[in-house]
Amino acid sequence: MNTENIVLEEGLDGSPLKPTNSNLASTGQRLANYVIDLIFIYIIAIGISAVLISTQGDPGEGGILYNVLFLLTHLTYYVIAEGIGGKTIGKMVTRTRVVNEEGEKPSIGKIIIRTLCRIIPFEPFSVLSSSGKMWHDSLSKTYLVKA
């Protein structure tokens, strides 16, 4: 499926239509989402780290705690943001959202699968595939569409 231009449309009865080639988010929108979301994830993780350091003391430079904290922040951010409204901060800016095959909000199970797939090594490079669909989309059977 080509991901150049997909726009979520509604049927005559107001029900969502399935994602099509004409309403998928572009690679540029995906990149913008990634950069914007990563900035917010870092801000959140740094804030949590600062609180932990001020209350618990510094566990040491390069400690595993910081890596675990970043990973948990990353996973939590996506599960909460996409699970509640199908949109992260990046997706709000680019006017895109996550939908299932029917064009509806995905189940929390699909969102969790989608989120866990993001930590697969080299997953960001999957956007370069011929389908343009990233692994976290294809494995969770979700789509990123223009809202």
Residue 70 vs residues 26, 38, 43, 67, 130: alpha-carbon distances, Å: 27, 11, 10, 5, 31
pTM listed for this prediction = 0.81
If pLDDT is split at 50, 70 and 90, which confidence band does 20 have? confident
DSSP string for the chain: ---S-BB--B-TTSPBPPP-TTBBPPHHHHHHHHHHHHHHHHHHHHHHHHHHHHHH----TT-HHHHHHHHHHHHHHHHHHHHHHS--HHHHHHTEEEEETTSSPPPHHHHHHHHHHTTSTTGGGGGGSTT---HHHHTTTEEEEE-
If pLDDT is split at 50, 70 and 90, which confidence band does 62 have? low
pLDDT digits (tens, 9 = 90+) for 86-116: 999 999 999 999 999 999 999 999 999 999 9
